[in-house]
Chain A
Amino acid sequence: MGNPESRLSRFPIPGHALGARVGHWFTGLLLLYCLFLIQTLLSPYGPDLVLLVLLTIAMRESRFAAALLGFLAGLCLDLASPHSAGANIVVYAGFAYVVALVRGFLNPSPWHTLIFISLGLLLRYAVLSIVRALPPGSFGSSPLTSVTVAAGLTLLLALPAEAVISRTLYRRWKSS
């Protein structure tokens, strides 16, 4: 994960580089899993934390790594709602792959973050509504209310969350 040359130069002994890589992957997976649990607890009105993490990772990692993490994140969410199993996998893996694919053509900018998040949310709710798996509203409210609240919170948290996750995983405050 990350720029292999810059990372390897910090580790003259080859084993250390492998250990650092494994540790980095483990941290990323652990962060993804914890945020998945929090997102499930806060559902249906909570922000899409998994999407925020995937965006940060996809802006830095390879297409395969991004797609793999998207697949695992989508799988966890599908296990929480098995009647729509597969939908979240398609959404998150596809989203992460596309972001990793196009990021090379863009200069890093907060607007790109917001646009990507908006497109990711649109894709997710479109696919979920097609398979009729939109999260139901609570306390008598309609699914549209919960979707609007969740999407609003996700966009609100997009930039600060990207900074924090970037710092946690890559020790940098923004994407380079």
Chain B
Amino acid sequence: MGTWPDRAAWLLLLLGLALLLLPQPLRFRLTAPLQTWVLAPLRALTLLGRNVARLNAENQRLSRIAAELAVENARLLAVTEMSTPAPSSPLELVRSPVINRDLATQKQYLIVSRGSRHGVRFGAPVLVAEGIVGRTVSAGEHQSLVQTILNPDSRVAVANTRSRLLALARGGKGPELVLDYVPTQLTSPQDTDFRIGDTLVTAGLGDVFPRDLGVGTVTGTEEKPAALFKSVRARPFADIARLDQVFILRVPDSVGSSLEDGWLDNLRPAEVAMPEE
């Protein structure tokens, strides 16, 4: 133990012991400057974690606001056209995380973690800030099944915002919608056609979607000679393949008495029926 390395090693041990025996305030004062540098990576990691959590919460809050604004925008558009006063909207959006998808395509069905316990009902409209996603086809107590607009069995009445022409949108083979019953130029007046870039919104027909909610944009038309109708393709505004949360519109039980502006008129219980052909 007489060599200098051994003495140096003992000196280090004595330094540690001396630090241990110092009064606590003096210990803190001595270690504080070193603490900042040595623990800097840990502090940075903690700060990063907190920032990520904070940004996630902010993202969810802003997504909800965006969806509420989209719904309110659609409602006010309808109100403006009808020239009636706009009462305040008691509509509620239920934020619903997506917890599962259909295995085959990942786009035709979604399972969300909100159900009847949260006010979700069968046939409720499902949307995001960008546009509609689909409707609920089954509602359990805590979960619901959403049939998206890309499902081949889905039917949504849409209107062209430019020409006000109506069509029926259904899910196509790929990530696009197909519009049926679009008359060709031979049978419809000029300027009432579907053109690439036209915006599609819900027409407010049927008993699921209120008017003027965003649906998609026209991406192509296919005209067959001497045919009465042509095929129109559209891309939905909502990126259904990448959704991790949606908003389910909770329509009040008594639609007629809650809102006087007529925006949800098509969602009232049917009192008359179409004559059978």
Contacts and interface: CB of A to CB of B under 8 A. Distances in A.
Given A37-B41, A37-B42, A41-B42, A86 B17 contact: yes
Interface string B88-128: 00000000000000000000000000000000000000000
B268 interface: no
A67 B13 contact: yes
Contact of A89 (B6, B16, B41, B42): B16
Interface stretch (A45-53, A90-98, A153-161): A90-98
Max chain A C-beta neighbours (<10 A), residue from B12, B20, B22, B45? B12
A79 to B, nearest CB: 5
Contacts of A63: 5-6, 9
A151 interface: no
Contact of A79 (B20, B24, B31): B31
Nearest to B36: A79
Interface residues of A, number: 29
Contact of B31 (A64, A66, A67, A85): A85
B33 to A, nearest CB: 10
Interface string A75-93: 1101110111111011001
Contact of B12 (A37, A71, A79, A87): A71
A70 B24 CA distance: 23
Contacts, number: 84
Nearest to A131: B20
B35 A79 contact: yes
A82 B31 contact: yes
Contacts of A93: 9, 12-13, 16
Contacts of B181: none
Contacts of B6: 63-64
Contacts of A83: 24, 27-28
Contacts of B16: 71, 74, 86-87, 89-90, 93
Interface string B1-20: 00001101100110111111
A134 B24 CA distance: 17
Interface residues on B, range: 20 to 34
B41 to A, nearest CB: 6
A115 to B, nearest CB: 22
A86 B21 contact: yes
B9 A64 contact: yes
Nearest to A62: B5
Interface string B117-141: 0000000000000000000000000
A41 to B, nearest CB: 7
B18 A86 contact: yes
Interface string A130-165: 010000000000000000000000000000000000
Max chain A C-beta neighbours (<10 A), residue from B15, B17, B20? B20
Given A64-B6, A79-B34, A86 B42 contact: no
A93 B13 CA distance: 6
B8 A67 contact: yes
Contact of A90 (B20, B22, B28): B20
A86 B20 contact: yes
A128 to B, nearest CB: 11
A97 B31 contact: no
A83 B21 CA distance: 11
Given A71-B15, A93-B16, A82 B9 contact: no
Complex A-B, nearest 4 residue pairs according to Cβ-Cβ distance, in ascending order: A86-B20, A89-B16, A64-B5, A86-B19
Given A79-B31, A89-B12, 18 more contacts: A40-B42, A41-B45, A63-B5, A67-B12, A68-B12, A70-B12, A71-B16, A80-B38, A80-B42, A82-B27, A83-B24, A83-B27, A85-B20, A85-B27, A86-B17, A86-B18, A87-B20, A89-B16
9 contacts: A41-B45, A68-B8, A76-B38, A79-B35, A79-B39, A83-B27, A85-B30, A86-B22, A90-B16
Interface of A: 37, 40-41, 62-64, 66-68, 70-71, 74-76, 78-80, 82-87, 89-90, 93-94, 97, 131
